[in-house]
Amino acid sequence: MTIPQQPQPYAEPAAPAYPTAVSRPGRSLAGAIAVFLGGYLLLAGFGGFLGQTALSLFATLADRPGPQYPLATMVLAFLQFLFALIVISVGLLLARTSATSALIGIIVVVVGSLLTFTFLGLRFNGLLPIPGGQAGIPFNAVLVNSWFAIVFFGGVAWLIARSARIGWLALLATLILIPLPIAFQFANLESGIIQIVMYLLSGIVGAVLILAGRPLRD
């Protein structure tokens, strides 16, 4: 006697897997490029109109004599500053491992950039209590060193957004950016040469920090 076979329910064919519009590796790479570009824009700003705006703004607030720049120039500098922060924020959101990590990274880079702007304005108007002469060199090399500050805070933001682990050791590479600007000034190097060298070194250190995040292919 044969046992009748129960008919098997009809199984829907599996839907073909289509690639998403932007793959995870693509998002990570786009985020890295955006953060790198935004960091460059910040460095260029602090070396140009943004640094001059900090000097002029804090001189005005403290009612001290100093260079006064046209309002339109200062507004343009702030808009460039804001645009650079937006570019970095978009990069962190693209490369994030979680929304929380991206938000923390954005806060870090925004606060760090604002602190750098404030320290520059206070220092060059004599409002920051930093010793003069050789005693003040360590403070000047860190507190008002935009090369170090932007690369450091940008690197911290990236590593947070990428949930890095051992990659945090790459932050040690930023230490090379602390003494060099002052050393170059003492060596009486031309301003243009100093900027070229510092841009190259900042780019190299920035690339190391980008790679120190979790692999871009994950």
Is pLDDT above 60 for 150?
A: yes
Q: In this predicted structure, what is the pLDDT of residue 6?
A: 53
Q: In this predicted structure, what is the pLDDT of residue 72?
A: 83
Q: Whole-angstrom Cα distance, residue 218 to residue 214?
A: 7
pTM (2 d.p.): 0.81
Helices (H), the chain: 24-46, 49-61, 71-95, 99-123, 137-143, 146-161, 180-186, 191-212
CA separation (Å) from 36 to 67, 84, 86, 91, 146? 32, 10, 12, 9, 15
Sketch the domain layout of the chain as residue ranges.
24-212
- Tell me the pLDDT tens digit for each residue of 61-109: 767 666 677 788 888 888 999 999 999 999 999 988 889 999 999 999 9
Q: Whole-angstrom Cα distance, residue 128 to residue 193?
A: 28
Q: In this predicted structure, what is the pLDDT of residue 7?
A: 53
Residue with tokens 């990570």: 28
| DSSP assignment letter at 131 | -
In this prediction, residue 132 has a pLDDT band, given cuts at 50, 70 and 90, of low
Q: Whole-angstrom Cα distance, residue 63 to residue 45?
A: 24
Task: Return the higher-pLDDT residue of 129 and 163.
Answer: 163
| Cβ neighbour number for residue 89 with a 10 Å cutoff | 22
Is pLDDT above 50 for 157?
A: yes
